[in-house]
Amino acid sequence: MLGGIAGFLVFQHWTKRGMLSVTPDVGWVISQDIANQRWDEAIKLALGRIHNEKKDYDEYHELAIIFLARADEDATHRYEWISKAMSYTDRAVSLGPSDMINFLQASQAYERAGDLAKERCSYYQKGLAASEKGLSLVPKDFIVGGGRQFPAQPMQTEFDDLIYRLQSKVNACGAGKVTAPNP
């Protein structure tokens, strides 16, 4: 249920910005390019979806996903790909500072980067800070999307689970609860 609501909100977010109606098949093509390790083609398509970065900032998460998938496959250049992924994630966060879905996606990207990196603690700390910021943006009762109301509890639970998971990973680093820079 949590995934369904989050998925709907992401879908609504993209639809509201006109990205899904203009290019409905591009996401599928990008996922196929990732699966077939056609990194340059996937990046080109994802960049092509950004027409106005102030409105299309969530597309930067797609680029982060591509670079993280590439980092997972290319251990030799892993640091370079993680670095590029995080630059796109950081850009999305800076352009959408009041968007809870943006912070959810960023938190997930920071966690994935930490899972891949040797120096993982800073990524987990950044993910934790982004999760806490995203949770603070979730309304108390209902989320409104597409003219419909949804209970906020599933989104709160999604963030709570992410915070718990990231806090556990930060603790495993031996860093305890360290305040990361605000995303």
| pLDDT value for 182 | 45
Per DSSP, 147 falls in state T
Residue ranges in the chain modelled with pLDDT below 50:
18-23, 177-183
91 touches 62 (CB < 8 A): no
Residue 166 maps to a domain? yes
Instruction: Supply the range of the domain harboring residue 162.
Output: 2-172
Residue 179 maps to a domain? no
Residue 107 maps to a domain? yes
User: In degrees rounded to 5, what are phi and psi of residue 13?
Assistant: -60, -50
Domain count for the chain? 1
| pLDDT value for 50 | 92
Residue 115 maps to a domain? yes
Residue type, 77: H
| DSSP states along 27-72 | HHHHHHHHHTT-HHHHHHHHHHT-S-TTTSTTHHHHHHHHHHHHHH
Domain CATH for 38: 1.25.40.10
Residue 122 maps to a domain? yes
| 142: CB partners within 8 A, 6+ apart | 149, 150, 151, 152
| pLDDT value for 181 | 43
Residue 178 maps to a domain? no
User: What's the CA gap between 84 and 97, in Å, rounded?
Assistant: 20
Kindly report, residue by residue over 51-94, the tens digit of the pLDDT.
998 888 989 999 999 999 999 999 999 999 999 999 999 999 99
